[in-house]
Amino acid sequence: MQYNEKDFVQYLTIRRKLAPKSIKSYRIRFLAVVKWHSENNLELDKLSFEKFLYQLRERKLGNAALNTYIQAIKHLDSFCKDRGLPAGFTDGIEGLPKTHPEIIILTIDEINRLCSIRSQYKNRNGVNCSELDLKYRTLINFLSLTGCRFEEAASLQIKRIDLANGRATLINTKNKDNRYIYFNGPIKEDLSNLIKNKEPEDLVFTNSKGNHVLDGDFNNDLRLRAKTAGITKRVHAHLLRHSWATHMYVAGVDIATLATLLGHRDVQTTFQTYVHLADETLKRASMRNPLVRQYVSPSETLQTVKDVIENLRLLQDERFEYKLNVEDNLLYFQLKVK
C-alpha cells in the first residue's frame, strides 16, 4: 500500500499540532519504515512492524531509538484511521522501557568559564559576523540561567521578553502549555543590545544572517568554546538544561516546582530524569528521619548546614559581606548588607 507522505506531514502539522522538529523526526522514521516494507515486499501490519522492530534490535539499537519508530508509526496508525485507510498495525505494541544513561553535568565553575569565553568570527560570503559572539554567548548564558530547551530559546520573539522583570513567556512548547522562565544579572544588558532597533515579531536570538539559529551550528560553536575553556566533558545545548535542573534540585527546589519550571506536564518525568543525579542530596534527606538522625555524627550535621547555606550562592553576591566557616565543631556564619 502506498502512503501519501505529504498528506501525513499535513496531518501531523494541522491535526496533531506537532512542532516542526518532531514532524521532521517522525517523517524520517516513517520513510524508513515504508522503505523497509517495500524492499521486503511486505504490507504494513502488526506482524510486519514487529519484524521491523526486531531487526532494528538485532542491529543493537537501544530502547530509546526503537521508541521513536514506535511513536512515529503510532502517528501513522492514527493518520490511517482518520483517513479511512487500513489501520491497527500498532495495536498491542507499547513503548519499550526507558533507560536513563548517566548524565555528567557541568559544575557552576565550568558554566561560568563557558559563558566567559569570547570568540572572533571572520565575515563569510559577504555577511558581517561581528555580532555573532554576542549572540552565541548570550544564548549560552540564557540557557544556563533559565533551563529552557534550545528550541524554546531559539524561537523566542522579542515581544515575549520582559527585560525589566527578568521574565520571558514561552509559547508552543513541547507539552503545548505556555510557561514563564526567569533570568537576572548582566544578561539583561546583553539581551537589550541584541534586540535594540528590532521589531516585536523578530526573534531574540538569530544567526549571522538574522535567521533562526540551527541547533547543529550552535552545538558546534558550544563545543569549541568548551574546549577553549578547558572543559573535557561532552558539551551540548541540552546539557545546560540538565545542569540547571540538577543544580536547582540540589539547592533545595522541590520536585513539583522544578517540573513546572522545566515545562514537564508529568512530575514523574522530572523525578525519573533528575533525582538519580543527586544521590548525595537524597542520602542527606534520609538522614532527617528521627530514627536515623540520632546516629548522624554532629560534625556531619554541621557540614550539612554549611552546604545548605553555601547553596544560596551568597559568596557570588557582591551586595553582601559574607563569612562562613566550620572549625573545632563550631559553625560560624556572618551575613551583612554592604
The CATH number covering residue 29 comes to: 1.10.150
Q: How confident is the model at residue 24 (pLDDT cuts 50, 70, 90)?
A: very high
pLDDT for residue 280: 61
277 falls in which pLDDT band (50, 70, 90)? low
By CB neighbour count within 10 A (0-12 exposed, 13-18 middle, 19+ buried), where does 136 fall? Answer: buried
Q: What is the pLDDT of residue 184?
A: 93
Residue for grid cell 556572618: 334
* Residue 60 maps to a domain: yes
In a domain, 89, yes or no: no
Whichever domain contains 232, its CATH number is 1.10.443.10
Same domain, 77 and 116: no
Pull the grid cell for residue 317. 553576591
pLDDT of residue 322: 82
Residues 275 and 294 in one domain: no
pLDDT band for position 281 (50/70/90)? Answer: low
Are residues 259 and 141 part of one domain?
Answer: yes
Which residues are CB-neighbours of 291 under 8 A, at least 6 positions away? none
97 — pLDDT class (breaks 50, 70, 90): confident
With contact defined as beta carbons under 8 Å apart, do 330 and 299 qualify? no
Residue 289 has pLDDT above 80, yes or no: no
Q: Are residues 275 and 291 in the same domain?
A: no
* Residue 145 pLDDT grade (very low, low, confident, very high; cuts 50, 70, 90): very high
Is residue 99 assigned to a domain? no
Nearest to 243 by CA among 81, 71, 104, 43: 104
Q: Are residues 118 and 211 in the same domain?
A: yes
Mean pLDDT (whole number) for 166-189? 90
Domain extent, residue 321, equals 287-337
The mean per-residue pLDDT over the stretch 59-83 comes to 91
Specify if 330 maps to a domain: yes
Q: Which residue has the cell 573545632?
A: 328
Same domain, 189 and 212: yes
Which pLDDT score, from 0 to 100, does residue 31 have? Answer: 93
Which pLDDT belongs to residue 278? 58
Kindly report, residue by residue over 187-203, the tens digit of the pLDDT.
999 999 999 999 999 99
Flag whether pLDDT at 121 surpasses 80: yes
What is the number of domains present in the chain? Answer: 3
Evaluate if residue 98 carries a pLDDT over 80. no
The pLDDT confidence band at residue 225, using thresholds 50, 70 and 90, is very high
Residues 55 and 141 grouped into a single domain: no
CA distance 109 to 63: 34
Is residue 297 very low, low, confident or very high in pLDDT (cuts 50, 70, 90)?
A: confident
Q: How many helices (H) and strands (E) does the chain have?
A: 15, 5
Whether pLDDT at 282 is above 70? no
101 falls in which pLDDT band (50, 70, 90)? Answer: low
Contacts 24+ apart (CB under 8 A), 184-191: 184/145, 185/145, 187/138, 187/141, 187/142, 187/145, 188/163, 190/134, 190/137, 190/138, 190/141, 191/138, 191/142, 191/161, 191/163
Based on the fold, state whether residues 140 and 265 are members of the same structural domain.
yes
Residue 100 confidence class, pLDDT cut points 50, 70, 90: low
Residue 217's pLDDT is 93
Q: What is the pLDDT, as a whole number, of residue 332?
A: 81
> Has residue 176 got a pLDDT over 80?
no
Contact 338, 319 (CB under 8 A): yes
Compute the mean pLDDT over every residue in the chain, rounded to the nearest whole number: 88
* Predicted confidence (pLDDT) at residue 265 exceeds the cutoff of 90: no
Tell me whether residue 17 is exposed, middle or buried, using C-beta atoms within 10 angstroms of its C-beta: 0 to 12, 13 to 18, 19 or more.
Answer: exposed
Residue 183: its pLDDT value, please? 94
* Residue 97 forms part of a structural domain: no
pLDDT over 80 (residue 274) = no
154 with 115, same domain: the answer is: yes
> Which of 50, 83, 116 is the last residue before a domain boundary?
83
Q: Based on the domain organization, do 204 and 140 belong to the same domain?
A: yes
Residue 122 and residue 15 in one domain: no
24 part of a folded domain: yes
**Grid cell of 289 as nine digits:** 528521619
Whether 12 is covered by a domain: the verdict is yes
C-alpha cell at 47: 506482524
Adjacent-strand bridge partners of 323: 334
pLDDT of residue 102: 67
Q: What is the DSSP letter of 331?
A: E
Model confidence at 279: pLDDT above 90: no
Last residue of a domain, one of 83, 100, 133: 83
In a domain, 95, yes or no: no
Confidence tier at 162 by pLDDT (50, 70, 90): very high
Alpha helices for the chain (secondary structure H): 5-10, 20-39, 46-58, 63-83, 108-116, 132-146, 150-154, 187-195, 215-228, 237-250, 255-262, 267-274, 279-286, 290-293, 298-310
Q: What is the 3-state secondary structure (H, E, C) of 70-81?
A: HHHHHHHHHHHH
Q: In what order do the strands lie in the sheet with 179-182?
A: 161-162, 167-170, 179-182
Verify that 125 and 233 share a domain, yes or no.
yes
Nearest to 273 by CA among 239, 229, 300: 239
Diameter of the chain measured on Cα atoms: 79
Give the pLDDT of residue 3. Answer: 85
Beta bridge partners of 322: 335
Q: Model confidence over 233-245: pLDDT tens digits?
A: 999 999 999 999 9
- Percentage of the chain beyond pLDDT 70 is 94
